[in-house]
Structure 1
Amino acid sequence: MALVICDMSISLDGYVTGPNASRANPFGDGAGGLHDWMFQNPIDEDRRLLDDAVAHCGAIVMGRTSFDKTVNEWGPGGPVPGTPNFVVTHHAPAQAHEGYTFVTDGVASAIEQAREAAADRRVGLHGATVAQQALPLGLVDEIFVHVVPLLLGGGTPLFAALGSAIELERIATHASPAVDHLRYRVVS
C-alpha cells in the first residue's frame, strides 16, 4: 500500500507561506525563498532528495486553497506531470481541470482514492490544511520537512491545528548550505 507523506518546505518558525498569501502572491510576503534550495544551485544531496520524491510520487492530495493559488503555475497535470491530483474541497468547480479530481467528502476519502491510484508508489500531501486534517486521523505515514533558515513571523503554519500530540520517530537528517532536511515516521 502507498505511503502517505507530508513533504513540505517550511521556515524555521514553521510556516509554509508568509503573510498575505493569495493567488497573485502564492507563497506570501517574504516566503519566496522557501523553495530556493530546489532551484538556486542545489547541492547533490538536495537534488537527490527532490528527484527521489518526484520519481516515487504516485498521487498528490491537496487542499482547495493550494489548488486555487497554484493551478495556473502548474498547468494541466499539476506539480508532478502525469501524477493524479486529488483536491479536497467543499465545492467542486464548474469547470473540469485535466489531471485533477475534486473530492467533496473529506480528506480521508481523498487519501483513500490517492492510495488506490498510487498503488505501490507514494502519496504526497500538498498544503498545510490537508496535513492538519490527515495527521489526527492517523492517515500520514511520514513527515519530511525541509527547514529553511528564514523567520517569517506569520503566514500559514504547517502544524497549527492538530488537536493533540503526535509522536514521531526520526528516520533521517541531512543538512546543506540552504536547508535542513528532516524526515520522521509518524508513530501515533
Structure 2
Amino acid sequence: MGTVIMHNVVSVDGFIADESDDVDPLHDWYFSGDDPIIERGGRKDEESFDHSGAGNAFKVSSASADYVRSTWATIGVIVMGRHLFDLVNGWEGKPPAGEHVVVVSHRPKPEGWHPEASYHFVDGVTAAIDKAQELAGDRTVAVNAGEVGGQILAAGLVDEVAMDVVPVVFGSGKRFFGSIDSRHLLADPHVVIPRDGVLHLRFKVRR
C-alpha cells in the first residue's frame, strides 16, 4: 500500500483559506517562478487548475521545483472533500497530480459531470482511504487538509503530514487540521526545505 500523506499550503498561523475560501496570497509562490512543474510522465503542466478553479500554469522558483516535482510524481490518488470539489468544480476532471480522485461526500457525482474522469464519490473517510489505496497501489495517496483531512488523521489513517508554509498570517479562516479535537503526535520533520516564499515541511505521524 502507498503512503497516505495529508498535504496543503498553509499560513504560518495554521489556515489553508480565509472564511470566504480565498487562498490568496497562500498560492502566490505556485505562480511566481519561471520553472514549470513536471508531472504525468514528464509532461510540463501548462494548463492546470489552482484552488480557485482558474486555469493557470504552475511555475515555481527553481529552488522549489525539484521538491514539488518529485512529490507530485509519486501521487496516484487525491482525496478531497465535497466542499473543495464544489469550490473548484473538481478541477474540471483534471487533477493537478495523480490519475484518480476520491471525493468524500454524502451526495453522488453530479449527473453528466466529466464522465471520462476517474473520480469516485465515497460516503465516509475510512471507505475513501480504502478506495484510494485500491486505486493507488504502491503510489502515494494525497489527502487535502481541512475538515476531511482532519477526520482522516483522527481515524488513524494518515502516515505523514506535509505542509508548504508561507509567510502569511490570516488570523482566522479554514484550519489545516479542520475541527479536530484530539491529540496527535508527529515525529521530528524529516523534510525541512526553506525556499523562495515557502517552507516545505514533512512529518511522520507517530502511532
Query: Shorter-chain TM-score: which interval?
Result: 0.7 to 0.9
1:2-13 counterparts in 2 under 5 A? 2-13=2-13
Unmatched segments (≥5 aa) in structure 1: 22-27
| In structure 2, C-alpha distance between the alignment counterparts of 1:36 and 1:71, rounded to whole Å | 21
Name the residue aligned to 2:28.
36
Task: Name the SS of the counterpart of 1:114 in structure 2.
Answer: helix
The answer on 1:91 being equivalent to 2:110 is no
Cα RMSD (Å) of the superposition? 1.5
| In structure 2, C-alpha distance between the alignment counterparts of 1:32 and 1:75, rounded to whole Å | 21
Task: Name the SS of the counterpart of 2:9 in structure 1.
Answer: strand
Using the TM superposition, give the Cα deviation of residue 94 of structure 1 relative to its aligned residue in structure 2, in angstroms: 4.1
48, 51, 59: which is aligned to 2:69?
51
Q: Does the 8 Å contact 2:2/2:139 carry over to 1?
A: yes
| In structure 1, C-alpha distance between the alignment counterparts of 2:67 and 2:82, rounded to whole Å | 26
Q: Does the 8 Å contact 1:147/1:180 carry over to 2?
A: yes
TM-score in terms of structure 2 length: 0.80
Number of equivalenced pairs: 177
The answer on 1:176 being equivalent to 2:195 is yes
Q: Does the 8 Å contact 2:149/2:178 carry over to 1?
A: no
1:8-23 counterparts in 2 under 5 A? 8-21=8-21
Moved >4 Å (runs of 4+): none
| In structure 2, C-alpha distance between the alignment counterparts of 1:46 and 1:71, rounded to whole Å | 27
Using the TM superposition, give the Cα deviation of residue 53 of structure 1 relative to its aligned residue in structure 2, in angstroms: 2.0
1:25-174 counterparts in 2 under 5 A? 28=22, 31-41=23-33, 42-71=60-89, 74-80=91-97, 83-97=99-113, 98-104=117-123, 106-169=124-187, 170-174=189-193
Unmatched segments (≥5 aa) in structure 2: 34-59
Q: Does the 8 Å contact 1:5/1:125 carry over to 2?
A: yes
Letter in 2 for 1:113: K
Measured against aligned partners, the alpha-carbon deviations of 1:109-139 in whole angstroms (never above 9, x if no partner) come to 0111101110111000124112110111110
Using the TM superposition, give the Cα deviation of residue 11 of structure 1 relative to its aligned residue in structure 2, in angstroms: 0.5
Using the TM superposition, give the Cα deviation of residue 12 of structure 1 relative to its aligned residue in structure 2, in angstroms: 0.8
Name the residue aligned to 1:25.
none
Using the TM superposition, give the Cα deviation of residue 50 of structure 1 relative to its aligned residue in structure 2, in angstroms: 1.4
Using the TM superposition, give the Cα deviation of residue 37 of structure 1 relative to its aligned residue in structure 2, in angstroms: 1.9
Question: Which shows bigger deviation, 2-11 or 45-54?
Answer: 45-54
Task: Name the SS of the counterpart of 1:159 in structure 2.
Answer: coil
